[in-house]
Amino acid sequence: MLLEFACKNHRSIRKEVLFSAIASKDTTHIERTAEFDSERILKTAVIYGANGSGKSNFIDAINYVINLVTDSYKYPPGQGIPQVPHKLEGLDSDSEYKLQFLIDGVRYAYGFTVRKFLIEDEYLYYFPNKRPVKIFERNSDGFTAGSKFRGKFSLCNDVLKPNRLMLSCAANFSNVPEVEAAYRFLSGGIVLYNIDSQNNWMKYTLRTLHKNPDIKKEVIRFMQSLSIDIKDIKIEMEKVSPNDIDLPDYLSDEFKNKLMQSTINKFRAELVYQKFSVDLENEESNGVRKLFAFLCPFIDITQNNKVLICDELEQSLHESVLYELVKLFIKLSHGKNCQMIFSTHDTSLLNLDLFRRDQIWFTELKKEDRSTDLYSLAEIKNVRKDESFRKGYISGKYGAIPMLNADMADRMNRGE
């Protein structure tokens, strides 16, 4: 589970902002939190804010960390680390990224700093028996291993470069279980979803439904709960050669010939309704296709205790299904350690039945430098547990004032 994420000097984020999934002392919906030591961890969180206030930039910072951890060990010498600083800070200022997370009940702390396209420093600690133990620390002069891990990273001396993260190198060129666990969590345990993910998620959904009838039943049940009167899903698979599909022109003749000798699985889905069936790809509505592609990875995340992070979820899924989707996640996450963190403009989700105050977060641009501030509803004074969070947000009581259309503004003026 993700406990905390902090960053600074990343796009619109100038000074450090901190997201925390550690629950407050509020006992509302405490059964929907996970227990860890003497604290409780939130399983869901939602981020609101006006367009351009930094919601996407905050999620982009998480994605930035994931990409560097996953791939930087492959960066060639001389290639810089991508860096996207705040306009008023620039490349001479540190861009910092810090995380704390749980793996099998053990807390880890990881972070690094980028300056002028290179890694300035980096660290990885874990907390067996609740006490911090250094796995490694790294600066511009090299790295040092904790006493328990001395001699474990000898191969990293040859592969570590100023443009490569130590965690990325150590996970691929050493055999340290604690390092591998941290790498697996950051490279695969956190799943980011956006519009660009839909094609890959659709392929995963079709493969899963073809081989797992239990998940197919769950998908059909959920779609029926949204008044989509689906009776069955028929998945057909055929093995095709690349002769039957278009190969990109840029592939070499040699590589094309190798592909011609292989076969790939091609799936086709048909949604069965009461009186007719439709081909998913060619005849179904765009909204149903998006929902269909989303559901299997969504269920997989709950079953395998992963962290799902979505940017403006309503762009990928229709607003009418978001409420039910959050309710489904709450149901599926019961007794599990999965999490869902997402940004949205859909104020109908600001509901006491779905979220505690510490699960609702806001982004707002500071007037003096147009930098992003991030804070939770629990940090704002004089917010009652039973007040209308939606009305308070729309009226500007919590800051992070949304951009209202004319109809919404008129309704607010009438007190609706």
Q: What is the pLDDT of residues 339-357, one digit of tens each?
A: 999 999 999 899 888 999 9
Residue type at 223? M
314: pLDDT strictly greater than 90: no
Q: Are 186 and 170 in contact (CB under 8 A)?
A: no
Q: What is the pLDDT of residues 52-69, one digit of tens each?
A: 999 999 999 999 999 999
* Domains within the chain, CATH numbers bracketed: 1-194+311-416 (3.40.50.300), 197-303 (no CATH)
Helix (H) or strand (E) holding 192: strand 190-193
Confidence of residue 260 (pLDDT cuts 50, 70, 90): low
Rounded-to-integer distance, Cα 239 and Cα 54, Å: 45
Q: Are 156 and 119 in contact (CB under 8 A)?
A: no
Q: What is the DSSP letter of 188?
A: I
Q: What is the DSSP letter of 15?
A: S
Contacts of 26 (CB under 8 A, 6+ apart): 356, 357, 358, 378, 385
Which residue matches tokens 């405490």? 30
What percent of the chain shows pLDDT beyond 70?
A: 91
Q: What is the pLDDT of residue 256?
A: 65
Q: What is the pLDDT of residues 34-50, one digit of tens each?
A: 999 889 999 999 999 99
How high is the mean pLDDT of the chain?
90
Q: What is the pLDDT of residues 275-302, one digit of tens each?
A: 999 999 999 988 888 898 889 989 989 9
Give the global pTM. Answer: 0.88
Measured between alpha carbons, how far is residue 13 from residues 9, 61, 268, 365, 367 in Å?
5, 9, 44, 9, 13
334: pLDDT strictly greater than 70: yes
Rounded-to-integer distance, Cα 28 and Cα 296, Å: 30
Q: What is the pLDDT of residue 286?
A: 85
Q: What is the pLDDT of residues 404-415, one digit of tens each?
A: 544 444 454 454
E-strand ranges in 104-158 read 106-115, 118-126, 133-139, 142-145
Cβ-based neighbour number of residue 266 at 10 Å: 13
Which residue matches tokens 């505690």? 356
Which residue matches tokens 């869902």? 340
